[in-house]
Structure 1
């Protein structure tokens, strides 16, 4: 058996430089390779390394970009485009590049809002030039929040929890904005936080959970939502990420914190469950379209970006004051304990015991006449000084 060395690739920083030199966005490069934009960002940041056919295609594409006079823009006959096929029951034999399609899961920034950063573009360690942190955060929120609320609704089936999860995820992102701004995929960071909060098992103990949600009006939408909610949360999330949003299998596995074979098994099991209850959704393309239609049924609106930022800052101030109050209380209790605690060890007094052989103590008997007279005189004529202690006889 002969071993072939892996196709050499330039360093992660050089990969990003070549892509930018070719005037390609991560989405365009991902479309030419047939992978997700998050996968390209992971390759350029060094978090993961392509393998197999993807590695060869990526190396050829980078080599073409490194040649003088290389033209950007996709070509139909580009040999770098690879086909992906997920084998297994219910896979539908889908071939071709796996890339997100425009649907209810995607949202473009409104023209009147500040320029939103590309959520799939790797960051250079700072916010976009000319934008303050608040403006960059508002742009990311305007780009991701509307679609993210619809995604979270498919995970939970509850409108209030979907809005709350998205707001909490963006509040956490604002608290850690330097980290999020430097992340190669800030939209994926916020999406993972929102999905984790939405699927948290602690929601079952909340009183609000006792109130049921009004059902959907369309019977087919209601049936699909019921099938989704019967899936285990990891399977439901995997199906949404792969067949709903359109992430690649490695990206889906990374976001759900599972191995790629485990994510593929969850996906196949979820597809089989949905196809068993709804046979018309056995084709993954039809399932993708129905998920997008179901997500766009409800008119779910997210809060305004300033309200989310203000809520994050209020929450941070509250927990800061609570921590300061707890620290002061702990210091006061410690000081009081040190002030009132005994300085030495005082052994307890043992209980009395009867000693055999010792006669019991006899109580005094009745007073004699002289003793009663002396007592009366002492009570009637109190004398100061030593005479009071040593009375003289008459």
Structure 2
């Protein structure tokens, strides 16, 4: 009995490129295939592969814009999702099902965003050469299971870092702080690489770490952060950045994740450690604040486009992955040596204390007691007549008188 050969499918990264070439979102493909969006995302991440009729239909759908190029399919580890895009917890970009509180505007006011990406939307990005593209020139090869940790880390960094630096700049308004936050996040990721590599969303792990470091209130105590950096050159970009920086940090982060990065509301709430209604409230309040100052940005799509323009206007370049890994290793060595030195000093101080401390009980000295009956001490004064006569008598006698015994030789 012969088995019908399965329809060839492109590689996971090529599947996503073919879908984007047809201007289709994951939700559109899921609706056409009759599956959930999480299933389509799993197909593009390489975790699963459609079979049977769905495989044939999926192959035909991908060939809508160009012919399918046959690629050898490779089993994708957990990092494929990080290299090709963030893994989302929600299967759809639609609004959450829980109803917000009574004072919250209806969820329909939150317009659904396009398919989320790590960087600005490629269809709205005015300078696509400044963002990590997934086209043929900058296409990331599927990560094989035999990939070394260094290569896997470099692949994650090469895709996430350029867009993450621009996102952090919108979050802080400081170029150097944005670069430093991203580097510190990746250094921590390299230090805890086994945990990050097995995470369901490595890109989200690094993004949350970078945001936390960038929004730390301790930066205000650093001398170089007390003076503001030069604002953007364009007046429109400067006005939008000023409005963003006037928002509370948690509102600013919610707006950036939803309208800038493109996460859906449940994922945004999870990353900001808030409930979904609370995240919806923060998002709407942030949009109202932006629309009050800049009425032309009241439309979410226009706001997303302007955020992409402001982020792309600054030519922020991330460091090389080897430099980041080397810096993380140097930092780890520094703290390890400092911990060893502190331990040695502590052991030395303890040893010195043990050697110099008394090893037996010494009773304390008894308090002094007053002695009565002792005549008072008399100061010297003039001699009396009797004392003068006695002194003259003693001086008048011979030294070798008869009273003295003189030894004689025998």
Please report the TM-score for the alignment, with normalisation by the length of structure 1: 0.69
CA deviation string 1:260-316 (max 9, x = no partner): 111111111101110111111111010000000010011111111111111011111
Q: Which moved more, 1:274-283 or 1:87-96?
A: 87-96
Q: Which residue of the partner structure matches residue 373 of structure 2? A: 359
Alignment counterpart, residue 333 of structure 2, candidates 312, 317, 328: 317
Q: Which has the larger radius of gyration?
A: 2
Q: In the alignment, which of 225, 243, 253 is matched to residue 241 of structure 2?
A: 225
| Cα deviations by residue, 1:42-69 (Å, 9 ceiling, x for unpaired) | xxxxxxxxxxxxxx9639979xx88732
TM normalised by structure 2 equals 0.67
Q: Look up the SS of the partner of 1:296 in the other structure.
A: helix
Q: Which residue of 2 aligns with 1:88?
A: 105
Aligned partner of 2:36 among 41, 58, 72: 58
Equivalenced residue count is 320
Residue of 137, 140, 155 corresponding to 1:139? 155
**Cα distance between partner residues in 2 of 1:307 and 1:315:** 12
> Following TM superposition, by how much is the alpha carbon of 1:365 offset from its aligned partner in structure 2, in angstroms?
8.1
Give, in whole Å, the separation in 2 of the partners of 1:214 and 1:152.
Answer: 16
SS in 1 for 2:167: helix
Structure 1 residues 95 and 196: CA distance shift in structure 2, 3 A: closer
Match of 2:54 in 1: 70
Contact 1:113 1:139 in 2 (8 A): no
- TM superposition shift of 1:211: 2.8
Deviation at 1:205, TM superposition (A): 0.5
Report Cα offsets for 1:325-349 as digits up to 9, x if no partner.
1111111111111111112343443
Assess if the C-alpha contact under 8 Å between 2:133 and 2:139 holds in 1: no
Is the CA contact (8 Å cut-off) linking 1:90 and 1:271 kept in structure 2? no
Deviation by residue 1:166-207 (Cα, 9 ceiling, x = unmatched): 111111111111111111211111111111110011101001
User: Residues 317-356 of structure 1: matches in 2 within 5 Å?
Assistant: 317-349=333-365, 351-354=367-370
Q: Judging changes above 3 Å, is the alpha-carbon distance between structure 1 residues 256 and 82 closer, same or farther for their aligned structure 2 residues?
A: closer
Tell me how far 1:133 sits from its aligned partner.
1.3
Alpha-carbon distance in structure 1 between the residues aligned to 2:316 and 2:38? 44
SS of the residue aligned with 1:271? Answer: helix
Alpha-carbon contact 1:116-1:143 (below 8 Å) kept:
no
| Conserved? CA contact 2:93–2:263, under 8 Å | no
Separation (CA, whole Å) in 1 of partners of 2:168 and 2:341: 36
The answer as to 2:138 corresponding to 1:108 is no
Q: Which of the numbers 319, 335, 341 marks the counterpart of 1:303?
A: 319
Counterpart of 2:45 in structure 1 is none
Tell me the distance in 2 between the aligned counterparts of 1:194 and 1:187. 11
In 2: Cα distance, 1:60 partner to 1:256 partner: 22
The 1-side partners of 2:138 and 2:322 are apart by: 13
Indicate the SS of the match to 2:53: coil
Corresponding residue number in structure 2 for 1:11: none
Structure 1 residue runs of 5 or longer lacking an equivalent are 1-20, 41-55, 118-126, 373-391
CA RMSD, Structure 1 to Structure 2 (Å): 4.1
Matched, 1:180 2:164: no
Aligned partner of 1:12 in structure 2 is none
Cα pair distance change 1:331/1:112, threshold 3 Å = farther
Give the aligned partner of residue 15 of structure 1: none
Contact kept in structure 2, 1:242 and 1:248, CA below 8 Å: yes
Which residue pairs with 1:387 in the alignment?
Answer: none
Q: Does 1:291 align with 2:307?
A: yes
Distance 1:217 1:364, change over 3 A: same
Between 1:151-160 and 1:127-136, the stretch displaced more is 127-136
> Given that residues 95 and 264 in structure 2 are in contact (C-alpha distance below 8 angstroms), is that contact kept between their aligned partners in structure 1?
no
Distance 1:231 1:244, change over 3 A: same
Q: Deviations over 1:110-162 (max 9, x none)?
A: 97889456xxxxxxxxx733422111111111111111110000010001100
